[in-house]
Amino acid sequence: MKAVVYDRYGSPDVLRVEDVPMPSPSSGQVRVRVAATSINLSDWESLRGSPAYARIGGLRRPARRTLGSDIAGVVDEVGDGVTRFRPGDEVYGDNLALMGGFAECALAPETALTHKPAELTFAEASTIPQAGVIALQGTKPATQGSRVLINGAGGGSGSFAIQLAKRAGAHVTAVDNDGKQDFMRSLGADEVIDYRRDDFTRTGHAYDLVLDLVAYRSVFAYRRALAPGGSYKCVGGTARTLLRLVSVGTVVGRLTGRSLGVLFVKQGPSHFEPLADLCVRGEIRVEIDRVVALEEVPAALAHVGEGRALGKVVIAPA
Ligand SMILES: NC(=O)c1ccc[n+]([C@@H]2O[C@H](COP(=O)([O-])OP(=O)(O)OC[C@H]3O[C@@H](n4cnc5c(N)ncnc54)[C@H](OP(=O)(O)O)[C@@H]3O)[C@@H](O)[C@H]2O)c1
């Protein structure tokens, strides 16, 4: 079967399409004929080996040869002990532990997957698992009338997060580059900020909730952006910033009547299915920037990693 592989960290040039042996499912695993895999920033980070946490399990060279964790497709073989699926079932899920979605077939533990709603296409379903859990859990504290700021709001998780926070009745400020301002407004953002021009921690505004998808500032800058009782949650960013948030951030938060920390996202079907239900009911829109073939994975990753994608980029290996 065809797969996009890499053997060293680097730019998209290190990726190539190869014929690799068809994998067989072990106990508890299923093999999925991949119809669609959406790209996450975590794929870009694992390609580059940066931030440092992207090298967990593979300090010098990548632990997995094929990236791609958000898969949707059809089960074509099941391993021993698999009870929830059989060949022919349409499934989707976040296969973060094994990856392998940029290929014609991928192995996944059955626990990572669930049945795909018939109302969603494979491409749509593939956009939901990873970005969806981040957006759902990250916007959970948003309430009617609260002031919410989402940093990195024009990407995959952000495009769901804007809509979820608006649905909760919040006033939403969305931060991303200049090319994504209209896109973020179209998703419901009340105010937008171009991060290359303005620093949201220095505008003088204070927020009840800051959801940060790309954290790199000091704890004190984030504290400045919070209203009394407010909460700052970071889900991604530099390793140094994340470490400071879990150490200094916790103390600064307690001393100033705010909360600063890292959101460790709970993974798995029960956590992303509520978003799929909202998409099926038409209450949340799935934003797909483009759907491309396996051969175009390097260019597609660059498109996401360099921040040009409006919503999710999807790979369709078939
Ligand atoms: N905590 C967990 O358990 C967990 C699990 C999985 C993933 N994650 C993390 O969650 C995040 C999810 O990201 P995603 O998939 O939604 O990424 P994405 O689609 O690439 O979106 C990120 C957005 O942030 C923008 N951006 C980059 N630098 C910025 C800056 N300095 N200020 C404001 N915006 C900036 C990017 O645009 P430009 O670069 O073009 O400007 C892009 O639009 C990633 O950081 C990932 O590592 C966390």
Measured by CA distance, the residue closest to atom 21 of ligand 1 is: 155
- Residue among 127, 199, 196, 205 at smallest CA distance from 172: 205
Token match 């140094």: residue?
240
User: Ligand 1 centroid vs 286 CA: distance in angstroms?
Assistant: 17
Tokens of 272: 């992303």
pLDDT value at residue 256:
94
DSSP per-residue string spanning 243-278: HHIIIIIHHHHHHHT-EEEE--PPPSHHHHHHHHHH
Confidence band of 145 (pLDDT split at 50, 70, 90):
very high
Mean pLDDT, the chain, whole residue set: 96
> What pLDDT digit, counting tens, does each position of 235-267 carry?
988 889 999 999 999 999 999 999 999 999 999
- Residue among 53, 59, 49 at smallest CA distance from 238: 53
Any ligand 1 atom below 6 A from CB of 155: yes
> What pLDDT digit, counting tens, does each position of 148-179 carry?
999 999 999 999 999 999 999 999 999 999 99
User: Ligand 1 centroid vs 206 CA: distance in angstroms?
Assistant: 22
- Give the pLDDT mean for 29-51: 95
Atom of ligand 1 nearest to the CA of 96: 6
